[in-house]
Amino acid sequence: MGMNIVRKIIERHLTQGAPKAGEEIAIRIDQTLTQDATGTMAYLQFEGMGLDRIRTERTVSYVDHNTVQVGPENADDHAYLKSAAARFGAVFSKAGNGICHQVHLERFGEPGKTLLGSDSHTPMAGGLGMLAIGAGGLDVAVAMGGGPFTLTMPTVVRIELKGRFRPWVSAKDAILKILEMFSTKGNVNTVFEYAGPALRHLDVPERATIANMGAECGVTASVFPSDDITRAFLEAQGRAEAWKELTADPDAEYDRTVTVDLSCLEPLAAAPHSPGNVATVASLRGTRVNQVLIGSCTNASYRDLRRVADLLRGRHVAPDTTLGIAPGSRQILGMLAADGRLAALIESGARILESACGFCIGNSMSPETNAVSFRTSNRNFEGRSGTPSARVYLVSPETAALAALTGRASLSEDVPDLKWPRVPTPKSYPHDDSQFVFPDETTIGRTELVKGPGIGPPPKNGPLPETLAGVAAIKAGDNVTTDHIMPAGPRLKHRSNIETYSRFVFEHVDPTFAQRMRELRDAGEHGFLVAGESYGQGSSREHAALCPMHLGVKAVIAKSIERIHRANLINFGIVPLAFANPADYDRIAAGDRLRLADIRRALQERRPLALENATRSETIPLHCDLTDRHIAILLAGGRMNLDKA
């Protein structure tokens, strides 16, 4: 039987296990990427495990998240990362070079290779035919040292794309349609593999937009074939030698196939407060829009911004609307400057922002109270913009440009004399790698690590206690995101200092949480977190496990837990548990006294787990779907303890 692309890449990289859907496997990782907000912990852990040298084909350390630099913390992180890259053998991408996923696509991605990144949008490189997976920093640190990555062999869904976009419809609308079909839940351990006749009309940046937001569906990766279009992109980047063909066999098997006809799509938007809350722009037409932001790893390619510039040229942003534009990379900004389109954007009244994550992570450009903000980014979780009352809609660059011109949610008919600009795929991209710092034998093993005063070692955890006893420290609902658990925005600068950062755990959900947990921990109590469906969706930030661990959290009991977050919980010794009967969620209230007797033995002997709710004198059956490796990590109190042992 023929093989699909995902299986081909996995078989070529398999180091352990049988590639049968649902089985645990381990794969060799060719490339890794980190960004500054997760990278400092990853490199501190790399050091902490006694690793001394990068052993992948390519490891890149990007600085793109925290470039605001209010106070010395961000710049101290950058200096540490730069020294660590030189010492251990990673490429360092300086602030201003661009957003990690965009830059990686341009300069380093290679079809058929595996990429592990400490950022949930790492799968964007699937637009280039890579098997690219997001993970916690610790997993990435292990891969940087040459260790394999363990995952569940995914089921593969073939998404057959046919037809062609009509004017005013683009790649964002396609992935929003796919989000509407698949939702943000229930796609764990799945990979989307794209195929079909429409691919010949989709260039690499468009494919990358689609692959990027697969992360919002919760899939492990999204993979496109590597074909002549991929080759043309790599040639235009001066990297023809990186190309290789990669297609599925004609008789390849899939677990499921769905078809999306691009010619039937219309402009779409993800309405507040979830990327899965998809509506047509027509249904929003006329809604007042206070702010429009075009950028982020999803939609800030040259193709996207060239079209926006051509739409705005000779016109002005509506008087009561602010427009901000953050090109995805320095390469893109340079191209817009060279072809005059940057001038057109500036003349239209756009505020040109740095080529960085910026507004997307909520560290700048927070809108006014109660504002409506149209953004081309990928997440619109409540409060992520930095303004709790804001209503953020995720839209295509074309819909964003129309809103900037009219100050309202608009369709093209609302600006009748506006022509649909064609955007040809560039024949060549100017490539200037001067803002990367490449390591060599004079730096590896010889560079001193530079650690500012806020950079501390990752906190330690002890082995799992015989019995867990304490309280339900919080009871959360469905779709708790890692932004809820560990806010970013203004708190982001504390990423390298767990003691400080952990003061903000659940800050916007329950401002008393961190202090209460600290007191409970100091009194010898264990913390239990109780939640509904899809706990921990969104970011890969391992701080959402590391900081609760530091506060004494020992177990999460939820209806379901998302893939990356679950792996992070295990890595830091927090037991991820599921209700055997989801309705039992109602049998625990915040503050109830909970007990998991003899948990070490129960895990070792794989006995069914029963949670005692002492407050209600009830027993609740729990599920824990853990492998032997998971159990060993949990018993040791985290992977750092185990790998060092």
Under the criterion CB under 6 A, does residue 542 sit at the interface with ligand SF4?
A: no
Exactly one of 377, 406, 461, 560 binds ligand SF4 (CB under 6 A); that residue is 377
Under the criterion CB under 6 A, does residue 119 sit at the interface with ligand SF4?
A: yes
- Report the partner that residue 541 touches, choosing among ligand SF4, ligand MIC, none (CB closer than 5 to 8 A by kind): ligand MIC
Under the criterion CB under 6 A, does residue 541 sit at the interface with ligand MIC?
A: yes
- Burial readout 493-502 (b: 16 or more C-beta within 10 A, e: otherwise): bbbbbbebbb
Which of 522-525's residues contact partners 24+ apart within 8 Å by CB, and which partners?
A: 525/469, 525/470, 525/471, 525/552
Under the criterion CB under 6 A, does residue 66 sit at the interface with ligand SF4?
A: no
Exactly one of 5, 85, 268, 297 binds ligand SF4 (CB under 6 A); that residue is 297
Under the criterion CB under 6 A, does residue 198 sit at the interface with ligand SF4?
A: no
Number of residues that bind ligand SF4 (CB under 6 A): 11
- The conformation of residue 572, written as its DSSP 8-state character, comes to T
Under the criterion CB under 6 A, does residue 37 sit at the interface with ligand MIC?
A: yes
Q: 471 vs 486, which CB is nearer to ligand SF4?
A: 486
Beta bridge mates, 134:
117
Exactly one of 178, 361, 372, 555 binds ligand SF4 (CB under 6 A); that residue is 361
What burial class does residue 424 get, using C-beta atoms within 10 Å of its C-beta: 0-12 exposed, 13-18 middle, 19+ buried? exposed
Does residue 125 contact residue 226 with C-beta atoms inside 8 Å? no
Binding-site string for ligand SF4 from residue 26 to residue 65, where x marks contact by CB under 6 A and - marks none? ---------------------------------------x
> What three-state secondary structure class fits 519?
helix
Cα angle, residue 358 at apex, residues 296 and 362 outer, rounded to 5° = 105
Q: 150 vs 540, which CB is nearer to ligand MIC?
A: 540
Exactly one of 385, 461, 540, 568 binds ligand MIC (CB under 6 A); that residue is 540
Exactly one of 85, 99, 211, 221 binds ligand SF4 (CB under 6 A); that residue is 99
Number of residues that bind ligand MIC (CB under 6 A): 14
User: In angstroms, what CA-CA distances link 597 with 42, 187, 473, 603?
Assistant: 34, 33, 18, 11
Does residue 38 contact residue 137 with C-beta atoms inside 8 Å? yes
Minimal CA–CA distance to 486: which of 41, 21, 27? Answer: 41
Under the criterion CB under 6 A, does residue 135 sit at the interface with ligand SF4?
A: no
State the minimum distance, in angstroms, from the CB of residue 379 to ligand MIC: 6
State the minimum distance, in angstroms, from the CB of residue 539 to ligand MIC: 3
Q: How far is residue 367's CA from residue 359's CA, in Å, rounded to a whole number?
A: 10
Q: Which span sits near ligand SF4 by CB under 6 A: 16-24, 168-176, 354-362, 385-393?
A: 354-362
Minimal CA–CA distance to 396: which of 262, 265, 268? Answer: 268
Q: 58 vs 565, which CB is nearer to ligand MIC?
A: 565
Q: Is the peptide bond before 431 cis (omega within 30 degrees of 0)?
A: no
Tally of CA atoms within 13 A in the half-sphere of 285 that contains its CB: 10
State the minimum distance, in angstroms, from the CB of residue 35 to ligand MIC: 6
Segment 42 to 71, residues that bind ligand MIC, using CB under 6 A: 65
Q: Provide, for the chain, the percentages of residues in helix, strand and coil under a 3-state DSSP scheme, each rounded to the nearest 5.
A: 35, 20, 45
Q: How far is residue 448's CA from residue 233's CA, in Å, rounded to a whole number?
A: 38
- Report the partner that residue 38 touches, choosing among ligand MIC, ligand SF4, none (CB closer than 5 to 8 A by kind): ligand MIC
Q: Is 362 left (phi over 0), alpha (psi -120 to 50) or beta?
A: left
Q: 120 vs 322, which CB is nearer to ligand MIC?
A: 120
Under the criterion CB under 6 A, does residue 301 sit at the interface with ligand SF4?
A: no
Does residue 308 contact residue 328 with C-beta atoms inside 8 Å? no
What burial class does residue 56 get, using C-beta atoms within 10 Å of its C-beta: 0-12 exposed, 13-18 middle, 19+ buried? buried
Q: Which span sits near ligand SF4 by CB under 6 A: 353-361, 393-401, 459-467, 510-518?
A: 353-361
What burial class does residue 228 get, using C-beta atoms within 10 Å of its C-beta: 0-12 exposed, 13-18 middle, 19+ buried? exposed
Q: 98 vs 439, which CB is nearer to ligand SF4?
A: 98
Phi, psi torsion values for 545, nearest 5 degrees: -110, -40
> What three-state secondary structure class fits 623?
strand
State the minimum distance, in angstroms, from the CB of residue 217 to ligand SF4: 14
Tokens read off for 34: 């980190």
Exactly one of 222, 539, 560, 571 binds ligand MIC (CB under 6 A); that residue is 539
State the minimum distance, in angstroms, from the CB of residue 540 to ligand MIC: 4
Q: 385 vs 613, which CB is nearer to ligand SF4?
A: 385
- Report the partner that residue 296 touches, choosing among ligand MIC, ligand SF4, none (CB closer than 5 to 8 A by kind): ligand SF4
Under the criterion CB under 6 A, does residue 563 sit at the interface with ligand MIC?
A: no
Exactly one of 4, 34, 38, 155 binds ligand MIC (CB under 6 A); that residue is 38
State the minimum distance, in angstroms, from the CB of residue 498 to ligand SF4: 20
Q: How far is residue 384's CA from residue 362's CA, in Å, rounded to a whole number?
A: 6
Q: How far is residue 571's CA from residue 623's CA, in Å, rounded to a whole number?
A: 19
State the minimum distance, in angstroms, from the CB of residue 496 to ligand MIC: 12
Q: 142 vs 169, which CB is nearer to ligand MIC?
A: 142
Exactly one of 221, 357, 469, 603 binds ligand SF4 (CB under 6 A); that residue is 357
What burial class does residue 75 get, using C-beta atoms within 10 Å of its C-beta: 0-12 exposed, 13-18 middle, 19+ buried? middle
State the minimum distance, in angstroms, from the CB of residue 470 to ligand SF4: 34
Tokens read off for 61: 């350390």
State the minimum distance, in angstroms, from the CB of residue 568 to ligand MIC: 11
Which of 172-175's residues contact partners 24+ apart within 8 Å by CB, and which partners?
A: 172/209, 172/213, 172/268, 172/298, 172/299, 172/376, 172/394, 172/395, 172/396, 172/397, 173/265, 173/266, 173/267, 173/268, 173/396, 174/210, 174/260, 174/262, 174/265, 175/209, 175/210, 175/212, 175/213, 175/214
Under the criterion CB under 6 A, does residue 394 sit at the interface with ligand MIC?
A: no
Q: Which span sits near ligand MIC by CB under 6 A: 119-127, 298-306, 459-467, 633-641?
A: 119-127
Segment 267 to 296, residues that bind ligand SF4, using CB under 6 A: 296
- Report the partner that residue 540 touches, choosing among ligand SF4, ligand MIC, none (CB closer than 5 to 8 A by kind): ligand MIC
Cα angle, residue 518 at apex, residues 513 and 522 outer, rounded to 5° = 150
Under the criterion CB under 6 A, does residue 121 sit at the interface with ligand MIC?
A: yes
Which residues of this protein are in contact with ligand SF4, per CB under 6 A? 65, 99, 119, 121, 296-297, 357, 360-361, 377-378
Which residues of this protein are in contact with ligand MIC, per CB under 6 A? 37-38, 65, 119-121, 134, 361, 379, 488, 538-541
